[in-house]
Amino acid sequence: MNAIAKLSRRNFIVGSTATIGGLSLGFCVPFAEAAGNLPPEVNAWVVVRPDDTIVIRIARSEMGQGSLTGLAQLVAEELECDWSKVTTEYPSPGQNLARNEVWGDFTTTGSRAIRRSHEYVRQGGAAAREMLIAAAAEQWGVPARECRAANSVITHQPSGRTTTYGKVADAAARQTPPSEVKLKDPKDWNIAGQPLHRLDTADKLTGKQKYGIDLVQPGMLNAAIRACPVFGGKLARFDAAAVQTMPGVRKVLQVDETAVAVVADTWWRAKTALDALPITWDEGSNTGVSSASIAELLAEGLESDERVFVGTSIGDARGVIAKGGKVITATYAFPYQNHATMEPMNATALWTPERCDVWAPTQSGGLSLQVAAEAAGLPIEQCDVHKVHLGGGFGRRGGFQDFVRQAVTIAKQMPGTPIKLIWSREEDMLHGFYHPTTQCKLTGVLDEAGSLTGFHMRISGQSILTSAAPQRLRDDGSDPLVFQGLANGGDEYALGYTIQNLLIDHAMRNPPVPPGFWRGVNLNQNALYLECFMDELAHAAGQDPLAFRRKLMVDHPKHLAVLEAVAERIGWNSTPPQGVHRGLAQIMGFGSYVAAAAEVSVSDGQLRIHRIVAATDPGHVVNPAQIERQVEGSFVYGLSACLYGECTVKGGRMEQENFNTYNVMRMADMPRVETIVMPSGGFWGGVGEPTIAVAAPAVLNAVFAATGKRIRRIPLANQDLGSV
Amino acid sequence: MARITVNGIPHDVDVEPETPLLWVLREQLGLTGTKYGCGVAECGACTVHVDGAATRSCVLPISAVEPGQNVTTVEGLSSDGNHPVQKAWLALDVPQCGYCQAGMIMAAAALIAQNKAPTDADIDAEITNICRCGTYNRVRAAIKRAVEQA
Ligand code: FES
Ligand code: FES
């Protein structure tokens, strides 16, 4: 143990596990570890090894949300295999393309990993089971219908003969896939629906789990990058000679119009040289843009008739409001947020004139492949993307593949050399696709009985789709995402209140800051506006906030059920402990119904969140333990924004560059979270995102109960809770 | 050239003296379990033990580490993932994406080595690592479990 260890790079080369499955399919994948003699797959979803190990292929990305385990549970449920022998692997987007998209969509955004693929992955498991049974039956010369499978064992029922999946896997692979399979009723599930342990925990405890940032390839060099910090600005020039002789530096290069990179033997040396590199920016036309100018633009939209799109319109809200009565009005605002995944953006690329391979932590393997091929200037068939575990995604690594494009663009300037591009945290904070800023003016009219007769919700602010995915805009140019949680019916984002005269509209105002899909997307802003204002209305009507909502929710039993559940669990009708105050919120998003109830206290201006009860009805539940984790985790994300998060703009760029100025929730801020999972069946809703939206309004309503102070703009850190 | 002792093994590394320990571990020694999250001692993803004390390695220049000091990384915390903290983490499935977890585990292991019965307030004060996936409540529960089972 005392000898000086001689380490060469080769000692710690890692093979991407994502590539191993590819070898059995005859793909040429450089750097993959020796594949051994992988048995043929039973079908695209299932490989069975002779020792009965089951390899389940997972198309969606694992970024912490647990759907790798959940999807494997669904396949295993139908496969009737021994769960203790299940492992997983990612097929690559290139293999998917070559096999006619046999694994469907790889995209892992919008809380869709399970709800958008449960059916075909279960069918994949069921088909494999049928083929394994058919192979055994054929060997025994008995009818397949006399055989049953359980726990990876096939039994011929009349004779009691048994065999295992591993023994018949080869023969099963040669069976014709069944043309039809019948899926189990979820009430008969044994593996799915259970709070099973995650499949991917052990390696995360010892340093063994490799993330994109950890990859090492033979002969690899590292790149550090800097793009013009001003949005829309460009790279004017840089003085490569000034850093060319610094230790380890191999190349200083222009990446594209906006960015420069230093390539060195280690990333630390690349970054050190980049910090020393004299760079001149052409800052462009946005240097006058600031948080104040953006707020002004949005405030104008609150009162304007220009570029206004109607989301929901019922009756005559404007007319009823104009007639007067008890009219309540309030204006709310939500600032820009950064995803700030713990693992900064990164990608590794190897380019040759014939082929391009990329290793990337990505939420969207298919899009990564497209972007890689474009940047590589090669036909897509000559490119592939090997997915690696993500150190957080939250929407940043899905629709935006800037890190892949940059890595390939750099690698293309150094043919034959693998290049690992890593962003610094500062780069990550300055070049996000930000949770967009919106403002909202809400107006409600109460009749003499205190009932809400008219309601107008005017949202003003940035559309994500206009810049991020214009093809998803509606024909009139409106952005449906802006109205998440506020729709008149539907199975994704239905408003939970019936209001006779209702108008929800959006004044589209797009500042020159790139917006993106941030966990929860527009549901966050909308739930905060709607649910805090409902609280305002209830107080104006002199009614209990739960009772006030109940009257409007008669026709929305699923919305109401989750709300009642959290109210009951928090003890809404009982007196809270001395100094503790409560707040409620509910919304529907990503196909699920969610609600939260919070208990807080405020003393000497200090907020303490003691406890949050959450309820979610996602229709069906694949792993209740994962759902609890997702709910807790989403609260941390949502409350970080509520308490601390704000990216402010000055001189056309973001001011916050690291966690010292973009603070997030830590252990000491964390409340106790109790999660009620209450699947009502009949639909498949998402889990990763919806609950995030109800944490902040529940807390803010509790803050009002505690202080009498309405917080209408977050983060709370900017507000003085003591001056009441 | 600097000499450091990591997980009981001395190494000679050829780096500039101001190179942070984090990048020596990751890039010279291939110990990638220790993560980069901020580089400014804010997030704790880079936490290792230097002579048993939890230390944020992203701001510790290699020149400040004495050859006689023992640096422990998550790879060297136990022989087989069997440190009480790792066992508690496994039992409770603490990690989500896992990226922050090596830092969390090292911070937690240092805490319970010094404080056999940490209170919630002790945990709040000592575990200031950032987890964007929001594993805090499970981290807290696992620390308590590790103490009980240690
Ligand atoms: S990387 Fe060292 S504290 Fe964040
Ligand atoms: S588990 Fe993902 S950042 Fe902590």
Between CA A171 and CA A128 the distance in angstroms is: 12
In a domain, A723, yes or no: no
Q: How many CB atoms lie within 10 A of CB A194?
A: 16
Question: Residue A522 pLDDT more than 50?
Answer: yes
Task: State whether A261 and A176 are in the same domain.
Answer: no
Residue A461 scores a pLDDT above 90:
yes
- Asked if residue A358 and residue A305 are part of one domain, the reply reads no
- Closest partner CB to A5 (pick from B11, B75, B133): B11
Which helix H or strand E contains A453, and what residues bound it?
Answer: strand A452-461
Neighbour count for residue A61 (Cβ, 10 Å): 26
Number of domains in chain A: 3
> Given CB atoms, is A661 within the 8 Å cutoff of chain B?
no
Please report the number of interchain residue pairs, chain A to chain B, with beta-carbon separation below 8 angstroms.
190
Kindly state if the Cβ of B101 falls inside 6 Å of ligand 2: yes
Kindly state whether residues A332 and A352 are assigned to the same domain: no
Q: Which of A91-105, A537-551, A701-715, B9-23 has the lowest mean pLDDT?
A: A91-105
Mean pLDDT in residue range A255-277: 98
pLDDT given at position A38:
56
What's the gap in Å between the CA of A344 and the closest CA on chain B?
7
The average pLDDT across A561-565 equals 98
Of B11, B90, B99, the CB nearest to A202: B90
- How many Å apart are CA B150 and CA B141, to the nearest integer? 14
Which residue on chain A is closest to B10 by alpha carbon? Answer: A4
Q: What is the B100 CA–ligand 2 centroid distance (Å)?
A: 5
Task: Tell me if A210 is assigned to some domain.
Answer: no
Q: Are residues A648 and A666 in the same domain?
A: yes
The closest of A458, A475, A477, A457 to A466, measured between CA atoms, is A477
Please tell me the distance from the alpha carbon of residue A554 to that of residue A695, in angstroms, as a whole number: 23
| CATH code of the domain containing A537 | 3.30.365.10
The pLDDT of A529-550, averaged and rounded, is: 98
The pLDDT, as a whole number, for residue A67 is 79
Q: Are residues B66 and B121 in the same domain?
A: no
Contacts of B131 in chain A (CB under 8 A): 342, 636
pLDDT band at A723 (very low <50, low <70, confident <90, very high): low
Residue at a domain's end among B44, B76, B108: B76
Residues 6+ apart with CB under 8 A from A677: A615, A616, A618, A621, A624, A627, A628
ipTM value for the complex: 0.98
A628 assigned to some structural domain: yes
Q: Is residue A23 domain-resident? A: no
Judged by a CB distance cut-off of 8 A, whether residue B122 touches chain A is: no
The pLDDT of residue B67: 87
Q: Which domain-ending residue is among A204, A230, A249? A: A204
User: Would A349 be classed as within a structural domain?
Assistant: yes
Q: B71 and chain A: CB distance < 8 Å anywhere?
A: no
Residue A215 lies in a domain: no
The C-alpha torsion from A196 through B141 and A578 to A575, rounded to 10°, is 10
Answer whether residue A29 shows pLDDT above 70. Answer: no
Kindly state whether residues A332 and A350 are assigned to the same domain: no
Q: Is the CB of B96 under 6 A from ligand 2?
A: yes
Q: Looking at the predicted structure, is the pLDDT value of residue A23 above 90?
A: no
3-state secondary structure A85-138: HEEEECCCHHHHHHCCCCCCCCCCCCCCCCCCCHHHHHHHHHHHHHHHHHHHHH
Same domain, B70 and B39: yes
Instruction: Report which of residues B13 and A104 the model is more confident about.
Output: B13
Any atom of ligand 1 within 6 Å of the Cβ of B113:
no
In chain B, the residue whose alpha carbon lies closest to the alpha carbon of A343 is: B37
A126: its two tokens:
């069921």
| Residue A15: predicted pLDDT | 27
B54 Cβ inside 6 Å of ligand 1: no
Please indicate whether, in this complex, the C-beta atoms of B128 and A668 are within 8 angstroms of each other. Answer: yes
Picking from A390, A422, A454, the residue at the C-terminal end of a domain is A422
Q: Is the pLDDT of residue A695 over 60?
A: yes
Query: Is residue A438 domain-resident?
Result: yes
| Pairing state between β A86-89 and A54-57 | parallel
- In sequence order, the β-bridge partners of residue A654 are A649
Residues within 8 A of B (CB atoms), A 337-376 only: 340-344
Q: Quick check: A123 and A78 in contact, CB under 8 A? A: yes
Minimum CA–CA partner of A631 in chain B: B134
Q: Is the pLDDT of residue A162 over 70?
A: yes
Residue nearest atom 3 in ligand 2 by C-alpha distance: B131
Residue B81 has pLDDT above 80, yes or no: yes
Same domain, residue pair A112 and A251: no
Mutate to test the interface with B, among A68, A211, A667 (most CBs of B within 10 A): A667
Q: Which domain holds residue B10?
A: 2-76
- What domain range is A461 assigned to? 291-337+434-718
Q: Which amino acid is at A119?
A: E
Q: The CATH number of the domain where B94 resides is what?
A: 1.10.150.120
Number of domains in chain B: 2
- Asked if pLDDT for residue A621 goes beyond 90, the answer is no
Q: What is the pLDDT of residues A573-611, one digit of tens each?
A: 999 999 999 999 999 999 999 999 999 999 999 999 999
pLDDT band at A416 (very low <50, low <70, confident <90, very high): very high
Higher-pLDDT residue of A689 and B12 is B12
Q: What is the pLDDT of residue A720?
A: 87
Question: How far apart (Å, rounded) are the C-alpha atoms in residues A615 and A596?
Answer: 6
Q: What is the pLDDT of residue A573?
A: 96
pLDDT at A39 over 80: no
Q: Please calculate the CA angle A598-A601-A605 and round it to the nearest 5 degrees.
A: 130
Q: Are residues A461 and A505 in the same domain?
A: yes
**pLDDT value at position A4?**
36
Q: Are residues A583 and A707 in the same domain?
A: yes
* Claim to verify: residue A305 and residue A262 sit in the same structural domain: no
A243 has a pLDDT exceeding 80: yes
Residue at which a domain ends, from B48, B76, B104: B76
CB contact under 8 A, A342 and B40: no
Question: Do both A308 and A389 map to the same domain?
Answer: no
Q: Identify whether residues A302 and A200 lie together within a single domain.
A: no
- Chain mean pLDDT for chain A: 91
The answer to whether the CB atoms of B93 and A201 lie below 8 A apart is: yes
Domain edge (last residue) among B27, B58, B76:
B76
Q: Kindly report the pTM of this predicted structure.
A: 0.92
The beta-strand segments (E) located in A12-80 are 41-43, 46-48, 54-57
CB contact under 8 A, B11 and A342: no
**Does the beta carbon of B46 sit less than 6 angstroms from any atom of ligand 1?**
yes
Q: Does B14 touch chain A (CB under 8 A)?
A: no
**Cβ B95–A210 below 8 Å, yes or no?**
no
For A342, the closest of B74, B99, B140 (CB atoms) is B99
The verdict on A453 and A350 lying in the same domain is: no
Q: Is the pLDDT of residue A28 over 60?
A: no
For chain A, give the percent of residues with pLDDT over 70. Answer: 94
pLDDT of residue A21 exceeding 60, the answer is no
Residue A675: pLDDT over 50 = yes
Q: Is residue A392 part of a domain?
A: yes
